[in-house]
Amino acid sequence: MRSVYRYLAALLFVAVVVQVGLAGYGAFDSIHAADKHPVTKKTIEHGFNAHGILGTIIAVAMLLLLIVALAGRLGSRRIKLAAGLFALGVLQLVIGVVSTSVPWIGFLHTVNALAIFALTGLIAHQAWAEQSV
């Protein structure tokens, strides 16, 4: 189970980095589209489709990481970190949905993404560092 946890943690970190890139793509795709025709909500949503899909996959992967930590009895520290990450992931999904109606909350979506980035990096680093000890 430690190997599954380790690889899943690394995959999650990479997915979060890609997720940030997809957010940037969505923003700049909207700007690019505005040069060609009037930008509609559908145009903007189209640029963020991959971001939304990957975000859902990441949330599921966060749940899987927590399940692996619990099922593998990998210690309270790993379980707490995985639970905290899953909580941030659920919060991220909620903030993302609410932000479309209350745009200033989008600020929290971005800040929470930074917390998710940091925590996935920490979890992956610790999983791989402990493996080599």
Tell me the pLDDT tens digit for each residue of 57-106: 999 999 999 999 999 998 999 999 999 999 999 999 999 999 989 999 99
Cβ burial of 69 (10 Å; 0-12, 13-18, 19+) is: buried
CB 4 within 8 A of CB 129: no
| 25 class by beta-carbon count within 10 Å (0-12 exposed, 13-18 middle, 19+ buried) | middle
Instruction: Report the distance separating Cα 23 and Cα 19, nearest Å.
Output: 6
pTM: 0.87
Q: By residue range, what is the domain housing residue 49?
A: 2-131
Q: What are phi and psi of 100, to 5 degrees?
A: -70, -25
By the 8 A CB rule, do 79 and 67 touch? no
pLDDT digits (tens, 9 = 90+) for 10-61: 999 999 999 999 999 898 988 888 888 887 878 788 788 899 999 999 999 9
3-state secondary structure of 26: helix
If one counts the domains in the chain, the total is 1
